[in-house]
Amino acid sequence: MATHLALDPDLLERALQVSGERTKKAAVTKALQEFIARREQRRLLELLGKLEWDPAFDYKAERLRT
């Protein structure tokens, strides 16, 4: 899908440098992938301390169930 964006040329050049990618498209794709991954990680961190764990739960026994 073709998309036309007005990107800050200085940011794009810096993204090319720090990413090690050879093309603008590859640098932008990598930046978007990392952005998404970071946001998903943040959502997981927000769950810390909010979930109740059963100390008697045997996760290894669950692996053996068929």
Q: How confident is the model at residue 65 (pLDDT cuts 50, 70, 90)?
A: low
Residue with tokens 């927000």: 46
Nearest Cα residue to 31 out of 12, 10, 57, 54:
12
**Can you tell me the mean pLDDT for 11-35?**
96
Q: How confident is the model at residue 66 (pLDDT cuts 50, 70, 90)?
A: low
* Token duo for residue 14: 């810096």
Check pLDDT > 70 for residue 5: yes
